[in-house]
Structure 1
Amino acid sequence: MKKLLEVKDLHISFHTFAGEVQAIRGVDFDLYEGETLAIVGESGSGKSVTTKSIMRLLPQGNSEIKSGEILFNGENLATASEKKMQKIRGKDISMIFQDPMTSLNPTMTIGKQIMEPLIKHRDLSKSEASKRAVKLLDLVGISKPETRLKQYPHQFSGGMRQRVVIAIALACAPKVLIADEPTTALDVTIQGQILDLMKDLQKKIETSIIFITHDLGVVANVADRVAVMYGGKIVEVGTVDEIFYNPQHPYTWGLISSMPSLDSQDEELFVIPGTPPDLLHPPKGDAFAPRNPYAMKIDKEEEPPMFKVSDTHYAATWLLHPDAPKVEPPLAVQERQAKFRASIKGDK
């Protein structure tokens, strides 16, 4: 597969009254044509900051891409001009934001909002853009699209608004679609419908998707590969099967173990002890060490490199060093992982 996007050694900081927050600390990943890459991790791990930097949507004034490259079509977006980015946003790279209730302009009809990128980026006339907008609404599963085109966001349910947001994002058939927790604000039934819709549309328009989420159940059903983030870094990356069936990083063990299974209502849920690191003062060594029950002396002194597990699977943990002791997750953790794996296998 051809590489579509390359993020290399990306460092991003926010300048605050308290000091410099080192939000992203050397992130590397690739996105290939036609694939879905899921980026997972707790709130504050750097998922949204990383992907918003691709579209250069970080707040001006206090955010800074300190170093690194974001290569797309041979161009480094990290240093591209705003004029250049305006041509890319919505055309080559689009984004579905988290909350459909606030993503749409309440003063504009749905039709105008879908037509806007078509007129700007595809040079379509209003008549041509209107016809295309009808087709897009039909594509995302909204009935009576001709009528709906003239309506306003408040006349749509949450699930329908998210379908409209997806229609806008896909209007120009972008090469990369970034979905920032697109189902978080929706109920479970609608979540499933939106996820099914995105998988179906990906095949039809042949786009690549970066899917940001903290819900590993979602990941299991939509992703080809998974990147696990913690403390502004990617700590493990692999195919979806490698991450779920052969996780190597203790943080990944914790994320999988903390997911409830269908028959876990009478059991105490597993939680990862402690809190994420303060990136005003990034810790020395492995950022996960204070929360890691398997941490060794070296974890507090040196940051682990990415160790190779397979050609597609890498993890940044000293437990993979040849001289490290052999460690398996506790039995209780393995049992919860097995239950969760069984539940997602049944959903596939």
Structure 2
Amino acid sequence: MKTILQVKDLELSFHTFAGEVKAIRGVNFELKKGETLAIVGESGSGKSVTTKSIMRLLPESSSEFKNGEILFDGKDLTKLSEKEMQKIRGKDISMIFQDPMTSLNPTMTIGKQVMEPILKHQKLSKAKAKEVVIDLLRMVGLPNPEERFKMYPHQFSGGQRQRIVIAIALACNPKVLIADEPTTALDVTIQAQILELMKDIQNKVDTSIIFITHDLGVVANVADRVAVMYGGKIVEVGTVDEIFYNPQHPYTWGLLSSMPSLELSEEKLYAIPGTPPDLLNPPVGDAFALRSEYALQIDLEEAPPFFKVSDTHYAATWLLHPNAPEVDPPATIIERMKTFKGSKYYKQAHGGEA
């Protein structure tokens, strides 16, 4: 598949009264045409900052690109002017934000709000743009779109408002759609509907999606590949099956162990001890070492490189070094693997035994 977006060695800092916060520290990933890449991790791991840097939505007065490139359509987005970025935002790269109520203007009808990017980026008359908007509202599942066109955000439920936000993001058929925790503010039933809607829309419009979330349960339903982020870095990347059923990084083990599951017999959920690192003074070695019971001495001294697990699976942990001691994953991870005994990932992890 063709690579549509590539982030290379990205480093970004915020300048604060307390000092320089090194929020993104050498992030690398690529997005293929038509795929969904999920970026997961705790709050403060750098997920949203990474994607907002792609859109260039961070305040220039306090943020600074220190190194790296964001390559899209042959252009490095970090080097573009604000005027050049305005031609890309909403047209080629769109974003769905977390809270639909704050994403919508309460003083404008939803029809005008969905029409706005169409009039800005496409040479259409208002009458033709209105037809496009009505088709979009129908596509995202709003009944009676002709009547809804004239209504205001407060006249819709939370789930309906999120559908409107998705319609705005899709108005110009973007090549890349960034969804920043789009279901967090919704109840579980509506979450499922929105996720199903996004999968259906992706099949129809052939867009590539970057899905930001801290909820691994959501990831299993939407992603093709997963990048696990911690302390401003990506620590593991692989297909959704590789991350769920053959995880290699202790942080990924912790995230999976803390996820509730009907199959697991544990009565108590695991909680990762400690707190994320202070990026005013980033740790020298592995940022997760002080929270990990599997940490080695070298983790405190030197940051691990990426080790190859398969052609699509890489993890930055010294536990994969040939000279590292053999370590078994937590019991919850092994038990989770057993629910997937028929998979090649389980067989790889257990020496070919099924």
TM-score bin (small chain)? over 0.9
**Following the alignment from structure 1 to structure 2, what is the Cα–Cα distance between the partners of residues 205 and 98?**
22
Match of 1:237 in 2: 237
Contact 1:93 1:178 in 2 (8 A): yes
Deviations 1:192-246 (A, max 9, x none): 0000000000010000000000000110110000000000000000000110110
1:88 and 2:92 are equivalent in the alignment = no
Contact 2:136 2:167 in 1 (8 A): yes
Q: Is the alpha carbon distance of 1:339 and 1:102 closer, same or farther for their aligned partners in structure 2, counting shifts above 3 Å? A: farther
Q: SS in structure 2 opposite 1:278?
A: coil
- Write out aligned runs for 1:12-27 (5 A): 12-27=12-27
Match of 1:321 in 2: 321
Unaligned runs of 5+ in 1: 343-348
Q: Is the alpha carbon distance of 1:340 and 1:278 closer, same or farther for their aligned partners in structure 2, counting shifts above 3 Å? A: farther
Structure 1 runs (4+) greater than 4 angstroms displaced: 263-266, 336-342
Q: Is the alpha carbon distance of 1:269 and 1:246 closer, same or farther for their aligned partners in structure 2, counting shifts above 3 Å? A: same
**Following the alignment from structure 2 to structure 1, what is the Cα–Cα distance between the partners of residues 291 and 66?**
28
1:334 and 2:334 are equivalent in the alignment = yes
**Following the alignment from structure 1 to structure 2, what is the Cα–Cα distance between the partners of residues 5 and 86?**
18
Shift of 1:335: 2.7
In structure 2, what residue type is equivalent to 1:267?
E
Unaligned runs of 5+ in 2: 343-354
1:149 and 2:173 are equivalent in the alignment = no
- Write out aligned runs for 1:1-348 (5 A): 1-262=1-262, 267-335=267-335
Contact 1:261 1:339 in 2 (8 A): no
Contact 2:108 2:152 in 1 (8 A): yes
**Following the alignment from structure 1 to structure 2, what is the Cα–Cα distance between the partners of residues 310 and 264?**
27
**Following the alignment from structure 1 to structure 2, what is the Cα–Cα distance between the partners of residues 201 and 117?**
18
**Following the alignment from structure 1 to structure 2, what is the Cα–Cα distance between the partners of residues 263 and 307?**
31
Deviations 1:288-307 (A, max 9, x none): 00011111110000000000
Contact 2:224 2:240 in 1 (8 A): yes
Shift of 1:339: 6.4
Q: Is the alpha carbon distance of 1:3 and 1:333 closer, same or farther for their aligned partners in structure 2, counting shifts above 3 Å? A: closer
**Following the alignment from structure 1 to structure 2, what is the Cα–Cα distance between the partners of residues 94 and 341?**
39
**Following the alignment from structure 2 to structure 1, what is the Cα–Cα distance between the partners of residues 277 and 52?**
21
Shift of 1:263: 6.3
In structure 2, what residue type is equivalent to 1:124?
L
Q: Is the alpha carbon distance of 1:79 and 1:20 closer, same or farther for their aligned partners in structure 2, counting shifts above 3 Å? A: same
Q: Which moved more, 1:28-37 or 1:256-265?
A: 256-265
In structure 1, what residue type is equivalent to 2:138?
D
**Following the alignment from structure 1 to structure 2, what is the Cα–Cα distance between the partners of residues 190 and 117?**
26
Contact 1:257 1:337 in 2 (8 A): no
Match of 1:346 in 2: none
Shift of 1:266: 7.7
Q: Is the alpha carbon distance of 1:284 and 1:84 closer, same or farther for their aligned partners in structure 2, counting shifts above 3 Å? A: same
Q: SS in structure 1 opposite 2:191?
A: helix
Deviations 1:46-81 (A, max 9, x none): 000000000100123111111100000000001111
**Following the alignment from structure 1 to structure 2, what is the Cα–Cα distance between the partners of residues 341 and 145?**
47
**Following the alignment from structure 2 to structure 1, what is the Cα–Cα distance between the partners of residues 130 and 266?**
53
**Following the alignment from structure 1 to structure 2, what is the Cα–Cα distance between the partners of residues 330 and 198?**
34
Q: Is the alpha carbon distance of 1:248 and 1:140 closer, same or farther for their aligned partners in structure 2, counting shifts above 3 Å? A: same
Identity of matched residues, %: 76
**Following the alignment from structure 1 to structure 2, what is the Cα–Cα distance between the partners of residues 257 and 339?**
14
Normalising by structure 2, what TM-score?
Answer: 0.94
**Following the alignment from structure 1 to structure 2, what is the Cα–Cα distance between the partners of residues 66 and 266?**
45
